[in-house]
Amino acid sequence: MLSTEAPTDALFGVQHDLRDGFVRLFVRGELDLATVPVLEDALAPVERWSGRVVVDLSDLSFMDASGLRALGCAGRRASEKGRRFAVTRCRPMVRRLFELTGMADMLDEAVPELLEAHAGG
């Protein structure tokens, strides 16, 4: 697993897990204006590696509009290239942000189970 952490916020980090052509990003901490560049830096190579990217937000405690925008832009880039991009395992507060902004179509709760089955556990 590759890991990236924001130098100013040790509580924020992004880890990559690459298996069988699937890339999962595990995002933890608070995703806001100060930490969005770390997420974007982590997304850049991942978007080149794989046709399928899943962003797991189960350890994300907070996200503001700048984090939502970064994920939305990554989703649009993937769509333009015919690639799959999904966000999964959101806490209720983060899920509500997606719903309120009309971006709930990015959420896919079935993805982690499909990836686990594909990777053999």
Does residue 69 form part of some domain?
Answer: yes
The number of domains in the chain is 1
6 is a domain residue: yes
Place of tokens 């590759």: 2
| In-domain check, residue 120 | no
User: Does 119 reside within a domain?
Assistant: no
Domain assignment of residue 90, yes or no:
yes
The verdict on residue 115 lying in a domain is no
Q: Is the pLDDT of residue 121 over 50?
A: no
Residue found under tokens 């990777």: 119
State the Cα–Cα distance between residues 112 and 87, nearest whole angstrom. 10
User: The domain containing residue 6 runs over which residues?
Assistant: 2-110
Residue 77 within any structural domain of the chain:
yes
- CATH number reported for the structural domain that contains residue 63 in this entry: 3.30.750.24
Average pLDDT of span 78-85? 90
pLDDT tens digits for range 13-65: 999 888 777 889 999 999 999 999 999 999 998 888 767 899 999 999 999 99
C-alpha to C-alpha distance for 66 and 54, rounded to whole angstroms? 19
Q: Which residues have a Cβ under 8 Å from the Cβ of 70 and sit 6 or more positions away? A: 31, 36, 39, 40, 43
The span from the CA of 20 to the CA of 108, in Å, is 19
Q: Stretch 93-120: mean pLDDT, rounded?
A: 76
Both tokens assigned to 115: 């990836």
